[in-house]
C-alpha cells in the first residue's frame, strides 16, 4: 500500500523517478530496495505505459518490470506497506484504474505497450493497450531523468 505522495492509499507497485546518470534498470533495483527492503534479481521489462494526468503538461512514462527472484526480507518503509496477493485476490478496486487492464498481461508474461489519459477525478477517459509491441531499443533511452519505473510481482518467491 502506498503510504504517501501520489497514489497514497492505493495498492501499487514499487517505483519512482530515475535519477540523473542512472539507468532504468538500476532505478528498479534501487527503488525496490528503498521501498520494500529487498534486492530484486532476474528482472525483465514487460511493458511501457504513457500516462497523461490532469494538470500535467508532460506525459509520464512508466516501465513495468517483473522480477522472478529476490533476496532479503520484505519490510514496511515510509513509502510503502508491501503485501503479496494471490492472483485471484488482487484488489483491483483499491488500485489505479489502469492496472486492471495491463496487470493480467504481465501475470501471463505478455509484453505490452499502452497509453492512458485521466480526468481530474483520476478516471480513465482514453486508453490504448497493445500486446507484443514492446521493443526496448525503440522506447527506452539508456539514461532517462523523466521516467517512472514500476515493479510488480505478486507471485514472487524469495531466493
For position 123, which CATH number holds?
Answer: 3.90.79.10
Q: Indicate the pLDDT class of residue 134, thresholds 50, 70 and 90.
A: low
Q: Is 25 helix (H, G, I), strand (E, B) or coil?
A: helix
Output the pLDDT for position 147.
Answer: 41
Residue 103 domain-assigned?
Answer: yes
For the cut 70, the answer to whether the pLDDT of residue 27 exceeds it is yes
Round the average pLDDT of the chain to a whole number and report it. Answer: 85
CB of 111 closer than 8 Å to CB of 47: yes
This prediction has a pTM of 0.80
Output the pLDDT for position 156.
Answer: 41
- Alpha-carbon distance 61 to 11, whole Å? 19
Residue 79 domain-assigned?
Answer: yes
Output the pLDDT for position 155.
Answer: 42
Residue 123 domain-assigned?
Answer: yes
Residue 6 domain-assigned?
Answer: no
Interior CA angle at 154 toward 12 and 78, to 5°?
Answer: 40
Residue 159 domain-assigned?
Answer: no
Q: Strand 14-17: give its sheet, edge to edge.
A: 14-17, 148-151, 60-71, 39-52, 112-118, 124-131
Q: Which residue has the cell 494538470?
A: 55
Mean pLDDT in residue range 69-95: 95
Domain that holds residue 116: 14-151
Output the pLDDT for position 140.
Answer: 41
Per the structure, the count of domains in the chain is 1
For the cut 80, the answer to whether the pLDDT of residue 154 exceeds it is no
Residue 114 domain-assigned?
Answer: yes
Amino acid at each position: 500500500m502506498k503510504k504517501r505522495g501520489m497514489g497514497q492509499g492505493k495498492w501499487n507497485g514499487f517505483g519512482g523517478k530515475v535519477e540523473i546518470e542512472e539507468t532504468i534498470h538500476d532505478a528498479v533495483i534501487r527503488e525496490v530496495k528503498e521501498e520494500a527492503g529487498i534486492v530484486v534479481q532476474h528482472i525483465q521489462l514487460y511493458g511501457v505505459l504513457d500516462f497523461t494526468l490532469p494538470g500535467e503538461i508532460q506525459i509520464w512514462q512508466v516501465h513495468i518490470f517483473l522480477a522472478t527472484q529476490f533476496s532479503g526480507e520484505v519490510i514496511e518503509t515510509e513509502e510503502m506497506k508491501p503485501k503479496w496477493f494471490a492472483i485471484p485476490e488482487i484488489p483491483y478496486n483499491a488500485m489505479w484504474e489502469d492496472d486492471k487492464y495491463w496487470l493480467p498481461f504481465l501475470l501471463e508474461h505478455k509484453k505490452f505497450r499502452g497509453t492512458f489519459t485521466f480526468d481530474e477525478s483520476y478516471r480513465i477517459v482514453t486508453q490504448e493497450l497493445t500486446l507484443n509491441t514492446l521493443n526496448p531499443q525503440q522506447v527506452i533511452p539508456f539514461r532517462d531523468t523523466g521516467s517512472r519505473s514500476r515493479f510488480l510481482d505478486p507471485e514472487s518467491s524469495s531466493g
